[in-house]
Amino acid sequence: MKKIAIFASGAGSNAQNIAEYFRNNERVKIECVLSNKTDAYVLERAKNLEIDTLTFSRDDFYNGKNVLHFLQLRGVDFIVLAGFLWLIPGYMLDAYNGRIINIHPALLPKYGGKGMYGMKVHQAVVAAHEIETGITIHHVNAKYDEGDIIFQAKCPVLDGDTPEMVAQKVHRLEYEYYPGVIEKMLEKL
Ligand code: GRF
């Protein structure tokens, strides 16, 4: 049995989609959902899905090892970031070397980096008159959105598309592909 921890800071629709995908899977379990925000809606979703949660402060995360110890105690094999907004500290990258992935709502290396998250990404894509955008699933390293790319999928940006419309298309791609890519990564562990 491979155990996944999902880190999320916000709404958590991807976290829920991933949890539902693996719900009756005998080889994969969503062991826990972790968040840096005590009022993140993802925590509500986790509760409804009967998944344990942990919240932590900046100090816990960067100056202590409680979060890592929690993951190790629970036997977590793989970490999935889904809308998690903080950089992963070096000690955790070392402990989970090659086993932390993220999804970004654009075609990296474009529209990535610090401050490029959520609607800001889609606003920038529309403002630049891009004709396509998409998702990037990538390994996580010490910099925002710079880890090796694992998978990308594209969708068109049409004349007159608003950032909200683009966000919807991108979310659809996220739901369609993220769980399957995670499953493939776990097979290689
Ligand atoms: C997604 O668009 C994901 O690509 C990005 O953050 C967003 C999270 O959305 N990293 P949700 O919280 O899963 O609804």
The count of structural domains within the chain is: 2
| Contact status, residue 139 vs residue 150, Cβ threshold 8 Å | yes
Is 113 in the same domain as 145? yes
Residue 82 resides in a domain:
yes
| Contact status, residue 11 vs residue 41, Cβ threshold 8 Å | yes
Is 20 in the same domain as 53? yes
Q: Which of 77, 182, 168 is nearest to 139 (CA)?
A: 182
Measured from the CA of 14, which atom of ligand 1 is nearest?
13
Pocket test for ligand 1, best of 7, 9, 14 (most atoms within 8 A of CB): 14
5 C-alpha to ligand 1 centroid (Å)? 16
Helix (H) or strand (E) holding 94: helix 90-95
Amino acid 150: pLDDT? 98
Which residues fall within 8 angstroms of residue 30, CB to CB, at 6 or more apart?
A: 3, 4, 6, 18, 19, 22, 49, 51
Amino acid 170: pLDDT? 98
Pocket test for ligand 1, best of 85, 101, 103, 122 (most atoms within 8 A of CB): 103
| Contact status, residue 92 vs residue 163, Cβ threshold 8 Å | no
Residue 153 resides in a domain:
yes
Domain that holds residue 143: 103-177
- Ramachandran angles phi, psi of 54, nearest 5°: -140, 135
Q: Using 70 as the pLDDT threshold, list the residues of the chain that sit under it.
A: none
Residue 17 resides in a domain:
yes
Helices and strands (DSSP H and E) totals, the chain: 7, 7
* 54-80 CB burial, b ≥16 within 10 A, e <16: bebeeeebeeeeebbebbeeeebbbbb
Any idea what the CATH number is for the domain that residue 87 is in?
A: 3.40.50.170
CA angle 35-33-143, nearest 5°? 55
Is 75 in the same domain as 107? no
Is 1 in the same domain as 91? yes
Is 87 in the same domain as 126? no
- What would the pLDDT profile of 130-170 be if each residue is shown by its tens digit? 999 999 999 999 999 999 999 999 999 999 999 999 999 99
Which of 97, 120, 151 is the last residue in one of the domains?
97
Share of residues in the chain with pLDDT > 90 (%): 99
Amino acid 63: pLDDT? 95
Residue nearest ligand 1's atom 8 by CA: 83
Which of 68, 97, 126 is the last residue in one of the domains?
97
Is 86 in the same domain as 28? yes
Q: Which amino acid is at 113?
A: G
Is 63 in the same domain as 3? yes
User: Cα(102)–Cα(139) distance, rounded to whole angstroms?
Assistant: 6
Is 108 in the same domain as 168? yes
Pocket test for ligand 1, best of 80, 166, 171, 176 (most atoms within 8 A of CB): 171
Is 71 in the same domain as 3? yes
Let me know if 129 is a catalytic residue.
no
Amino acid 178: pLDDT? 98
123 C-alpha to ligand 1 centroid (Å)? 15
Is 55 in the same domain as 111? no
Q: Which amino acid is at 120?
A: K
Q: Which of 69, 104, 138, 139 is catalytic?
A: 104
pTM of the predicted model as reported, rounded to 2 decimal places: 0.97
Residues with beta carbon inside 6 Å of ligand 1? 8, 10-15, 82-83, 103-105, 174
Residue 187 resides in a domain:
no
Is 88 in the same domain as 19? yes
Which of 76, 97, 118 is the last residue in one of the domains?
97
Query: Distances from the Cα of 99 to the Cαs of 95, 102, 139, 169, in angstroms?
Result: 9, 10, 8, 28
Is 114 in the same domain as 37? no
Residue 183 resides in a domain:
no
188 C-alpha to ligand 1 centroid (Å)? 25
Residue 182 resides in a domain:
no
184 C-alpha to ligand 1 centroid (Å)? 20
